[in-house]
C-alpha cells in the first residue's frame, strides 16, 4: 500500500506515437487535504475510490489504497466531490522495463502534460525518454488534488 513515484513535465507530445494504450479519466476529490486525500475516479467504464496519505519529504513516497467500485457508484460520488473535477487522457508509454503514465489535461488544466513513473524504490534508475522535461516530484502545485483547486490555466 505504498506508492513510490516520480513526476515530470513533458516537453512535446512525441510520447503519443509511443503510447500502447490510453484511458479517458474523470476524477474529483471528496477530500483534498494533503494529509489524507480521498479521490473518486472514472477510468473508461470503471470506477475507483482511492485514499492517499501525505507524501514523504522528497514527495516520492506515500500511502495509497485503492478499491474498484462500479461506474454508477463513482458517478454518484463525483456529485458529492469538492468543486474542480479533473478531465484528462492518460497515455501508457513503455520505457524499457518501466511504464510512464502521461496525462494530457483538459478544461481548466488545458495545456498541462505530466508524466509519472512508479518505482520499486525512490533511488531506482530508469530510462528518461527525450520528451521528458523538468522533474516536479514533490511540487504540490502538480498534485491532481491541488490542480482541482488551483487549475493550470490560472497560473499564467
Q: What's the CATH code, domain 2-151?
A: 2.40.320.10
Domain ranges of the chain: 2-151
pLDDT tens digit at each of 156 positions of the chain: 899 999 999 999 999 999 999 999 999 999 999 899 999 999 999 999 999 999 999 999 999 999 999 999 999 999 999 999 999 999 999 999 999 999 999 999 999 999 999 999 989 999 999 999 999 999 999 999 999 999 999 997
pLDDT at 156: 75
- The H-or-E segment that residue 27 falls in is strand 19-31
Mind giving me the DSSP string for 109-125? Answer: GTT-EEEEEE-SSTT--
Active site residue 29: yes
Phi and psi for 124 in degrees, rounded to 5?
Answer: -65, 135
Choose, from 29, 113, 142, 143, the residue flagged as catalytic.
29
Instruction: Count CA atoms within 13 Å of residue 122 on its CB side.
Output: 11
Query: Which tens digit of pLDDT belongs to each residue from 44-84?
Result: 999 999 999 999 999 999 999 999 999 999 999 999 999 99
Amino acid at each position: 500500500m505504498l506508492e513510490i513515484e516520480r513526476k515530470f513535465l513533458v516537453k512535446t507530445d512525441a510520447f503519443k506515437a509511443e503510447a500502447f494504450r490510453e484511458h479517458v479519466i474523470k476524477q474529483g476529490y471528496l477530500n483534498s487535504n494533503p494529509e489524507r486525500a480521498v479521490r473518486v475516479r472514472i477510468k473508461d467504464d470503471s470506477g475507483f475510490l482511492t485514499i492517499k496519505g501525505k507524501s514523504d519529504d522528497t514527495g516520492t513516497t506515500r500511502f495509497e489504497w485503492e478499491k474498484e467500485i462500479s461506474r454508477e457508484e463513482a458517478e454518484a460520488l463525483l456529485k458529492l466531490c469538492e468543486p474542480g473535477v479533473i478531465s484528462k487522457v492518460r497515455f501508457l508509454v513503455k520505457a524499457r522495463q518501466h511504464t510512464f503514465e502521461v496525462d494530457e489535461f483538459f478544461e481548466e488544466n488545458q495545456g498541462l502534460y505530466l508524466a509519472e513513473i512508479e518505482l520499486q524504490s525512490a533511488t531506482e534508475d530508469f530510462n528518461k525518454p527525450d520528451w521528458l522535461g523538468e522533474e516536479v516530484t514533490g511540487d504540490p502545485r502538480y498534485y491532481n488534488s491541488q490542480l482541482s483547486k488551483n487549475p493550470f490555466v490560472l497560473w499564467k
